[in-house]
Chains A and B, each alone.
Chain A
Amino acid sequence: MAESFVYRELGGPSPRYWGLLALLAVPLALGAASYFYIEHYGHIVTGMDNQIVWGMPHVFAVFLIVAATGALNVALAASVFGKTAYKPVAPLSALVSVALLVGGLALLMLDLGRSDRMIVAMTHLNAKSLFALRVILYNGFLATVAVYFWFMLERRMNRYIKAAAILAFLWQLLLVTGTGLMFGFMVARAAYDSVLYAPMFIAFSSAYGTAVFILILLATCRWEERPIADELLRRLKNLLGIFVGASLYFAALFHFSKYYVARSHDVGQFLLFDGGVYTALFWLGQVAIGAVAPLALLLRSQVSSAAIAAACSLVVLGGLAQMYVTLIGGQAYPQILFPGMVEASSFFDGEIHPYTPSVPEVLLGLGGVGLTAAIVAVALRALALLPERLDQTAGPQA
């Protein structure tokens, strides 16, 4: 059982650890500076305009939030579905999940037109808004995972782990469904308007979250040479393979349905063939780099942590490409007000909208990633969340 493992904080000499924090402080500082710059001058200094209203910060934010729910999968597999092999890494899985969510939420809040009013988002809730509902879902998710986390760490509460985990599982499902439907219910834009967004986002979430989790697990073990059992790596490798496969299936189904149905054929054609950078990012980024290449690495019977790390990195890159295609590509395609007519106006009706992200936007996005990494680094140093050795899972203890 997990009790037989000795959990230990992140060790290593102080200068090395402080060096890591100093490194993470760079994206954080640049992100903070970018935020104040945009806040002062307004969104005019970003690449966004009145056609592309959600830009690069949203690409990072939605990626982090979607990955957050999926990063909990490993912990839930242990606590809800009895996969005891994952038990030793369950606390790390919960930590990565919370850190990703905090990073993503911070970005969403900092990219508001009136970020000084973010408290208003808590005090005025429109119950019908999926966005507002997500505010409740996010906070609820953080609270549920916190309780689950506490039950895992506090021996006396261990027996309630399963109940807490089931609650976290259901909450996770609700949250990622809500995020997917935020796009799915947007009937105004042809690239959205599909309930497939809900299951597709569940698959994306599982793939991205698991990839980030494995990367952090491998990095932590490498930091102080904690051994990992091949059996655990094999399981994680196969789990990620299933999630990447499911993501590819839903992406194919979604794009095919858009392309096939006459009503949405034009936007399907745009994303798949005529969309320039979006088409390239879809085929090269989301499909080749984000799915085919990692699957080739993950489906090998050999277990190599280098190959797994490479596959995870590719999944993350593919995920960012997918978010760019979904968010920016979906807005670049014009809103058709008068079907069957050619539209033209000084407000760019009927045109494909261009978008070039500005440097502050990208830095703000990277700041969110830095925040996530910093939370993980600080928590791992302060709390004993990972066993000293992860090469005992295959034995009777597991």
Chain B
Amino acid sequence: MSADANDGISRRGFLAISAATLGGVVLAPGIRLIEIAGARAPEQAASDKVRWGLLIDTNKCASGCEDCVKACALENGVKSTGHARTDPQWIRKVELKDLRSGRTHSVPVMCQHCEHPPCVDVCPTGASFKRADGVVLVDRHICIGCRYCMMACPYKARAIVFQDVTDQNPDVPRGKGCVEGCTLCVHRIDHDRQPACVEACTKAGHNAMIFGDLNDPQSEIAQRVAKYATTQIRADLKLNPGVRYQGL
């Protein structure tokens, strides 16, 4: 009797433990990772609790350094065609000189991922859109190439593709006749990775760029924004960009 009973319990127990262990092994790391990193599962929609942003410390950004620009071009497959005026630039270094003091700065400028983006307001088809987490993107399926967003963007952050594109990065589809711009490397940040420009800047030891959630008080970016004076480009327009500059 007891031997039978023991046999039964051990079989059931074995199956239950196995199932629990298997489930744990399969699910736990994922759940734990999502918890730790704030990354979300593929089926989960972007959340408006998050506001992705960048903080650029202009004191650490050296004139002539193009590490972020090169990394962006490589990551997104944006290549020079030899026609500088028609080549798209998703991120560029702007050299500045104060007219009064003579002080110089060198700053990377890209899509500022505004809270109230004029490109989204003017887009006739809704191809220009803002994700719940603040990332401003172009839906390449419904962009008709009218260039109204390029006219409306105060940051010159959008570009249109003038010729056929070859050797594209599968994560970043591009196409002739469509408008494009910095995506904040949405294909990376959705997998809990840093945007390519930030990663390159950090890897080279400049540490001039910080990426993170402006809404999370524990994040480094939010703490830096709370502690130091930062500025937004064309703050007078009240677009509340997600990209901030320290030291300007």
Q: Closest Cβ of chain B: how far from A124's Cβ, in Å?
A: 4
Complex: how many Å from CA A286 to CA B57?
47
Among B16-24, B44-52, B151-159, the one that faces the other chain is B151-159
Cβ of A335 and Cβ of B94 under 8 Å apart? no
Given contacts A50-B86, A50-B159, contact A125 B98 (CB under 8 A): no
Tell me if A132 is interfacial: C-beta within 8 Å of chain B.
Answer: yes
Cβ of B125 and Cβ of A125 under 8 Å apart? yes
Tell me if A18 is interfacial: C-beta within 8 Å of chain B.
Answer: no
Give the nearest-CB partner of B112 in chain A.
Answer: A337
Q: Closest Cβ of chain A: how far from B115's Cβ, in Å?
A: 15
Cβ of A130 and Cβ of B122 under 8 Å apart? yes
Complex: how many Å from CA A117 to CA B120?
19
Cβ of A342 and Cβ of B99 under 8 Å apart? yes
Residues of A within 8 A of B15 (CB): none
Tell me if A126 is interfacial: C-beta within 8 Å of chain B.
Answer: yes
Tell me if B203 is interfacial: C-beta within 8 Å of chain A.
Answer: no
Give the nearest-CB partner of B143 in chain A.
Answer: A114
Instruction: Identify which of residues 126-174 in chain B touch chain A, using a CB-to-CB cut-off of 8 Å.
Output: 126-127, 142-148, 150-156, 159-164
Cβ proximity bits B175-192 to A, threshold 8 Å, 1 near / 0 not: 011110000000000000
- The count of residues in chain B whose C-beta lies closer than 8 Å to any C-beta of chain A is 55
Selected contact of A120 from candidates B83, B99, B144, CB within 8 Å: B144
Given contacts A125-B125, A335-B154, A337-B233, contact A343 B95 (CB under 8 A): yes
Cβ of A337 and Cβ of B164 under 8 Å apart? no
Give the nearest-CB partner of A116 in chain B.
Answer: B177
Given contacts A112-B144, A131-B122, contact A346 B84 (CB under 8 A): yes
Complex: how many Å from CA A342 to CA B101?
12
Residues of A within 8 A of B100 (CB): 340
Cβ proximity bits A159-196 to B, threshold 8 Å, 1 near / 0 not: 00000000000000000000000000011110000000
Residues of A within 8 A of B154 (CB): 187-188, 335, 337
Cβ of B156 and Cβ of A49 under 8 Å apart? no
Complex: how many Å from CA A188 to CA B154?
4
Interface of B is mostly: loop
Complex: how many Å from CA A118 to CA B122?
17
Among A8-16, A38-46, A218-226, the one that faces the other chain is A38-46
Tell me if B76 is interfacial: C-beta within 8 Å of chain A.
Answer: no
Tell me if A155 is interfacial: C-beta within 8 Å of chain B.
Answer: no
Tell me if B53 is interfacial: C-beta within 8 Å of chain A.
Answer: no
Cβ of B160 and Cβ of A113 under 8 Å apart? yes
Tell me if A231 is interfacial: C-beta within 8 Å of chain B.
Answer: no
Residues of A within 8 A of B124 (CB): 121, 125-126, 129, 131-132, 135
Complex: how many Å from CA A331 to CA B92?
20
Q: Closest Cβ of chain B: how far from A274's Cβ, in Å?
A: 18
Complex: how many Å from CA A125 to CA B109?
30
Cβ of A188 and Cβ of B123 under 8 Å apart? no
Residues of A within 8 A of B142 (CB): 117, 120, 124
Cβ proximity bits A190-209 to B, threshold 8 Å, 1 near / 0 not: 00000000000000000000
Tell me if B227 is interfacial: C-beta within 8 Å of chain A.
Answer: no
Cβ proximity bits A24-61 to B, threshold 8 Å, 1 near / 0 not: 00000000000000000111100001110110000000
Residues of A within 8 A of B143 (CB): 113-114, 117
Given contacts A44-B163, A53-B160, contact A344 B95 (CB under 8 A): yes
Cβ of B94 and Cβ of A117 under 8 Å apart? no
Residues of B within 8 A of A346 (CB): 84, 89, 92-93
Tell me if A341 is interfacial: C-beta within 8 Å of chain B.
Answer: yes
Residues of A within 8 A of B144 (CB): 112-115, 117-118, 120-121
Selected contact of A337 from candidates B120, B150, B155, CB within 8 Å: B155
Residues of A within 8 A of B11 (CB): none
Complex: how many Å from CA A113 to CA B145?
4
Residues of B within 8 A of A343 (CB): 94-96
Q: Closest Cβ of chain B: how far from A335's Cβ, in Å?
A: 5
Given contacts A113-B147, A132-B125, contact A340 B152 (CB under 8 A): no
Tell me if A348 is interfacial: C-beta within 8 Å of chain B.
Answer: yes
Give the nearest-CB partner of A263 in chain B.
Answer: B236
Cβ proximity bits A123-148 to B, threshold 8 Å, 1 near / 0 not: 01110111110010000000000000
Cβ of B156 and Cβ of A42 under 8 Å apart? no
Complex: how many Å from CA A115 to CA B144?
7
Tell me if A349 is interfacial: C-beta within 8 Å of chain B.
Answer: yes
Selected contact of A188 from candidates B87, B98, B153, B177, CB within 8 Å: B153
Selected contact of A340 from candidates B88, B98, B148, B153, CB within 8 Å: B98
Residues of B within 8 A of A135 (CB): 124
Residues of A within 8 A of B151 (CB): 53-54, 186, 188-189, 331
Cβ of B163 and Cβ of A42 under 8 Å apart? yes
Residues of B within 8 A of A340 (CB): 98-100
Cβ of B126 and Cβ of A124 under 8 Å apart? yes
Q: Which 3 pairs from chain A and chain B are nearest by CB?
A: A113-B145, A113-B177, A49-B85
Task: Provide a sorted-by-A list of 25 A–B residue pairs whose CB atoms are within 8 angstroms.
Answer: A42-B162, A42-B163, A42-B176, A43-B162, A50-B87, A50-B89, A50-B159, A54-B147, A113-B143, A113-B145, A113-B176, A115-B144, A115-B145, A124-B126, A126-B120, A126-B126, A129-B123, A187-B237, A335-B156, A338-B96, A338-B248, A340-B99, A342-B96, A343-B94, A343-B95
Given A115-B145, A117-B145, 13 new contacts (CB under 8 A): A43-B162, A49-B85, A49-B162, A51-B156, A54-B147, A125-B125, A126-B120, A126-B123, A129-B122, A340-B100, A344-B95, A345-B94, A345-B95
